[in-house]
Amino acid sequence: MPQDIPPRIAQYLSNALNNHRLGHALLLLGPHSSDKELVALHIAAALICKNTKTSASVLVGCHICIDCRQLFQKNHTNLHYIMSEAEIIRRQPENVEKNTASSSEIRIDAIRALKHEQHMSNLNETPHAWIIIDGHHLTHQAANALLKTLEEPQNNHFFIILAPSLQSVLPTIASRCQRLLFPDTVAADCKTLSQQSALLFEKINQADLSERFRIIEQLAKNKETVRAQLAGLQFAIMELIQSSFESSSPLTLNRRQMTALVAVLEKAQTDLKAHGNTQLVLEHLFLQSWPQIS
Ligand SMILES: [Zn+2]
């Protein structure tokens, strides 16, 4: 297994690749100092290299073939990079005169270009990978355009989005992605957030009707944070579903129930955004849609 991939992430990727469960969209979360981009290239190699072995001990491409060499030199035709103008300039060699007025945002044009590349790449069957550097620099418009692409996954098209933390990414984008947290201080707060959400998840599961009313009352008090709380719950459940494939620890709800809850939570967030009657949305969610187990 490559030394430069954190062991927990390597294990997760090996399992996902072995079991054909690697999603079309991945979100790699960690600070700039982490090896997110290198891991993204390893994933692209695992997808594109024709000699890839996905046994538990070998995760990635062979590193010898022409595909692998071109991938790690970042000039493979099936590897696409999306980044801001400022980042493109930052990566130019030292001796090139740099335009300091360039934008650090990833604008809608970049996503239009991505869609064009997607259209062109449909002509060949080999996998294509798009690496999006600094996904938190997507403008709102660009993020929404990307979301449409993620919502209509195409066979053999993979998107690897890099960002410093979960909070920096639009929740709707994050909820479409399999997330990989790099072990470090920034990712630690994502972990705390998802641990808090996991606790809330268990609390709701164990609660009787009157306790659920109290939880709704608590959540509804702070309207600004309700959507974030629901997004957090959604992430925590997705994480539980993912880890349930890797361990045999008993689940409070079964996978089918949890998958249904992910969809229900997403709808609740959309409803809150659309008309904002927090109390009604929460009552519907926790009293009608959520399974009763106590
Ligand atoms: Zn190879």
- Give me ligand 1 centre to Cα 93, in Å: 28
Phi-psi region of 156 (alpha: psi -120 to 50; beta: other; left: phi over 0): left
Q: What pLDDT is recorded for position 214? A: 93
How far does residue 58's CA lie from ligand 1's centre (Å)? 12
Domain ranges for the chain, please list them. Answer: 7-182, 188-287
Q: Separation of 66 CA from ligand 1 center, angstroms?
A: 7
Determine the distance separating the centroid of ligand 1 and the alpha carbon of 45, expressed in angstroms. 7
pTM: 0.63
Give the whole-angstrom CA distance, residue 49 versus residue 224.
46
146 alpha carbon to ligand 1 midpoint, in Å? Answer: 29
Residue-by-residue pLDDT tens, the chain, 294 positions:
455 677 777 777 777 877 778 899 999 988 776 678 988 998 898 889 888 665 444 456 777 889 988 998 999 999 999 999 999 988 887 767 766 778 899 999 999 999 999 988 876 678 999 999 999 999 999 999 999 999 988 889 999 999 988 888 888 898 899 988 876 534 445 556 667 888 888 899 989 999 999 999 999 888 767 887 887 788 778 777 777 766 666 777 888 888 888 888 888 888 887 876 899 999 999 999 998 765
Give me the pLDDT at residue 192, please: 62
Single out the residue of 42, 24, 43 nearest to residue 118, CA to CA.
Answer: 24
Q: How far apart are CA 270 and CA 4, in angstroms?
A: 39
Cβ atoms of 182 and 194 within 8 Å: the answer is no
Q: How far is the CA of 67 from the centre of ligand 1 (A)?
A: 6
Distance from Cα 152 to the centre of ligand 1, integer Å: 29
Q: Give the fold, CATH level 3, of 7-182.
A: Rossmann fold (3.40.50)
Q: What is the pLDDT of residue 1?
A: 44
**Ligand 1 mean position, distance from CA 197 (Å):** 40
Instruction: Tell me the per-residue pLDDT of 130-187, one tens digit each, with 9 for 90 and over.
Output: 999 999 999 999 999 999 999 988 889 999 999 988 888 888 898 899 988 876 534 4
Task: Give just the sign of the alpha carbon dihedral 274, 108, 155, 235.
Answer: negative
Contact criterion met (CB below 8 Å) for 146 and 113: no
Tokens coding 235 = 């992430």
Provide the 3-class DSSP secondary structure of residue 196. helix
Distance 64 CA to ligand 1 centre (A): 5
Instruction: Kindly give the distance from the C-alpha atom of residue 88 to the centroid of ligand 1, in angstroms, as a whole number.
Output: 27
Q: For residue 291, which of 258, 249, 250 has the smallest C-alpha distance? A: 258
Mean pLDDT of the chain, nearest integer: 83
Q: Could you tell me which residues come within 8 angstroms of residue 34 by beta carbon, excluding any fewer than 6 positions away?
A: 182, 184
pLDDT at residue 4, as a whole number:
62
Number of other CB atoms surrounding residue 74 within 10 Å:
13
Per DSSP, the residues of 113-175 read HHHHHHHHHTTS-S-EEEEETTGGGB-HHHHHHHHHHHHS--TTEEEEEEES-GGGS-HHHHT
User: Cα(69) to centroid of ligand 1, in Å?
Assistant: 7
Residue 158 CA to residue 44 CA, distance in Å, equals 8
